[in-house]
C-alpha cells in the first residue's frame, strides 16, 4: 500500500534518513522500531508529506505521491495523527470528533466552494458517525468531558478517533504508547486491532513498547542510522544479531 523507495533526508550535514526502502502492506499493522535518532519520525513526516526528501520516492497504491501535500494525501486516505491542539482541549470529546469533517472541507478552497451548505441532515450524519467512533474507542462514557481533561491514553484514543471521522485507510502512529498507563495501553491495543480487523485500516506504528509491538505488529521493521536493518516477525527481530547490536552494541 505504501512503498518507500531509497529515501534520503539530510538536515545540514546530518543524514537522518539514508537510502531507506520499505513497504507497508495493505491490511497489515506494520511496526517500525529502532534506537532513538534512527530516522523513524523523519521518515513518517516524509511519507505523510510534511517533509520533502532529498532523494527517493514514496508510492501510495502504486501512485507516486512524493511531492504531494499533507492535505491531499489526507484526502487519498493517508493520515498521521497529531496531538489534540490547544484550542480543542476546551471542547468536549464529542465536539472534537464532530469538528473534523468541517476542518477537512475548510482546508481547501475547491472543496469548500463545491460543498453543499451544511444541513441538519449533514449534522445528524456527522453526529452518528462520531457516536459510532466513540463506541469503538470505548470512550462513550467521557463524550461530554473536555478533551483537555482526558488522561494521556484517552487523548491518544481521541487522536485516533479523529482519523475515524475521515476516510482514512492507512494511519501512521508515532509512539501511541508514550506516557500511557497499563490499562489504557490494553484498550489502545484493542482499538487498533479492531480498526484493523473490522474496519479495514492499515497501520504503521512507531513504538518503543515491545509488548505492544509484539502483540499487534507483523511485520516488524527495525531501522538504525537512517536505513532498514532487518524486517520480520517480532520473534525474528528479537533474535536478529544486527538488531541486538543496534540496541545494545557499543
Closer to ligand ADP at the Cβ: 135 or 247? Answer: 247
Is residue 81 close enough to count as binding ligand ADP by CB under 6 A? no
Applying the rule CB under 5 A, the residues between 23 and 82 that interact with Mg ion are 41
Closer to ligand ADP at the Cβ: 29 or 246? Answer: 246
Is residue 16 close enough to count as binding ligand ADP by CB under 6 A? yes
Closer to ligand ADP at the Cβ: 40 or 162? Answer: 40
Distance CA 47, CA 4 (A): 8
Query: Which residues, other chains included, contact 74 with Cβ-Cβ below 8 Å and sequence gap of 6+?
Result: 104, 166, 168
Is residue 171 close enough to count as binding ligand ADP by CB under 6 A? no
Applying the rule CB under 6 A, the residues between 28 and 67 that interact with ligand ADP are 34, 36-42
Distance CA 43, CA 8 (A): 9
**Residue 177, CA distances (Å) to 53, 205, 211, 212, 247 in order:** 27, 10, 10, 8, 19
**Residue 134, CA distances (Å) to 130, 159, 236 in order:** 6, 12, 36
Closer to Mg ion at the Cβ: 41 or 154? Answer: 41
Residue 193, number of CB atoms within 10 A of its CB: 14
Q: For residue 250, give the 3-state DSSP assignment.
A: coil
Shortest separation between residue 7's beta carbon and Mg ion, angstroms: 16
Query: Position of cell 541486538?
Result: 244
Shortest separation between residue 180's beta carbon and ligand ADP, angstroms: 18
Between 89 and 128, how does the x/- string for binding to ligand ADP read (CB under 6 A)? ----------------------------------------
Query: Position of cell 492507512?
Result: 170
Say how many residues touch ligand ADP, by CB under 6 A: 11
Which residues of this protein are in contact with ligand ADP, per CB under 6 A? Answer: 11, 14, 16, 34, 36-42
Which residues of this protein are in contact with Mg ion, per CB under 5 A? Answer: 41
Amino acid at each position: 500500500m505504501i512503498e518507500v523507495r531509497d529515501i534520503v533526508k539530510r538536515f545540514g550535514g546530518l543524514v537522518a534518513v539514508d537510502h531507506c526502502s520499505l513497504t507497508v502492506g495493505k491490511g497489515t499493522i506494520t511496526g517500525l522500531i529502532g534506537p532513538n535518532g534512527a530516522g523513524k519520525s523523519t521518515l513518517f513526516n516524509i511519507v505523510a508529506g510534511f517533509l520533502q526528501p532529498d532523494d527517493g520516492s514514496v508510492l501510495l497504491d502504486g501512485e507516486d505521491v512524493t511531492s504531494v501535500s499533507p492535505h491531499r494525501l489526507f484526502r487519498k486516505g493517508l493520515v498521521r495523527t497529531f496531538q489534540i491542539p490547544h484550542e480543542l482541549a476546551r471542547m468536549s470529546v464529542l465536539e472534537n470528533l464532530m469538528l473534523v469533517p468541517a476542518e477537512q472541507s475548510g482546508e481547501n478552497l475547491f472543496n469548500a466552494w463545491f460543498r453543499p451548505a451544511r444541513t441538519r441532515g449533514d449534522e445528524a450524519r456527522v453526529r452518528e458517525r462520531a457516536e459510532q467512533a466513540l463506541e469503538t474507542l470505548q470512550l462513550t462514557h467521557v463524550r461530554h468531558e473536555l478533551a483537555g481533561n482526558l488522561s494521556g491514553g484517552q487523548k491518544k484514543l481521541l487522536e485516533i478517533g479523529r482519523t475515524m471521522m475521515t476516510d482514512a485507510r492507512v494511519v501512521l502512529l508515532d509512539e501511541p504508547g508514550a506516557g500511557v498507563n497499563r490499562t489504557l495501553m490494553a484498550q489502545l491495543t484493542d482499538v487498533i486491532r479492531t480498526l484493523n480487523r473490522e474496519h479495514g485500516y492499515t497501520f504503521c506504528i512507531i513504538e518503543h513498547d515491545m509488548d505492544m509491538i509484539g502483540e499487534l505488529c507483523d511485520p516488524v521493521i527495525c531501522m538504525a542510522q537512517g536505513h532498514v536493518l532487518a524486517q520480520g516477525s517480532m520473534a525474528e527481530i528479537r533474535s536478529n544479531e544486527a538488531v541486538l547490536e543496534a540496541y545494545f552494541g557499543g
